[in-house]
Amino acid sequence: MNLKNALFEKINFNEDELKVILGSFEKESIIKGEHIIKTGKTCDKLYYIKEGIFRSYYINESGKDITQWFFNDGKFMTSIESFYQQKPSLYNIQALEDAVVYSINRKKLDTLFNTYPKAERFGRLLAIEMLIKVSNKLNAIQFQKAKERYEYMITEFPNIYYRVPLGYIASYLGMTQETLSRIRKK
């Protein structure tokens, strides 16, 4: 899906609005393995993924790499609390495949929010959509057995689960890669 359709899906922007909004984004190419934001830095951009897969992750106190979320094409992505509250990011975000994205910085986005109430609404709907997804993951993680968590993964990310390293999925689901490997065998 392209950015225009992604915007249109939630809000009926008119042609003029679309022109300005689309014009505020810049195209970027990112190669596999590259980071768009690192822990400790303040994230200044919101991204729309045209092609590719990304993950957010952090290294915990015991040195383990923990994947927090996957972002695939057609979705918006940022280090939320860093971008919106302009404070250091707790997460790294890394491309898992060569990717093409459209980005907008905080300043330009604020201008859009101030100029077009519809843009503000789009932002609100996007936040709510993400909130519901995170809640769903929480429910899956909180009370389900390892096998059911993997089933949740397949439902939530049907286009991703077979494309990214098993270890990343395991930590995303709150289990070790050995456990996930054993589950997959069945």
Residues that bind DNA (CB under 7 A): 145-147, 165-167, 174-182, 184-185
* Burial class for 46, CB neighbours closer than 10 Å (0-12, 13-18, 19+): buried
Contact (Cβ atoms closer than 8 angstroms) between residue 44 and residue 105: yes
Within 113-172, the residues that bind a copy of itself by CB under 8 A are: 113, 117, 120-121, 123-124, 127-128, 130-132, 134-135, 137-139, 141-143, 171
Within 88-117, the residues that bind a copy of itself by CB under 8 A are: 113, 117
Torsion of CA 32, 33, 37, 39, to 10 degrees: 170
Query: DSSP letter at 175?
Result: S
23 binds a copy of itself (CB under 8 A): no
CA 96 to chain centroid, in Å, comes to: 12
Please state the closest distance from residue 122 (CB atom) to DNA, in A: 36
Binding site for a copy of itself (CB under 8 A): 60, 64, 66, 68, 80-81, 84-85, 113, 117, 120-121, 123-124, 127-128, 130-132, 134-135, 137-139, 141-143, 171, 174
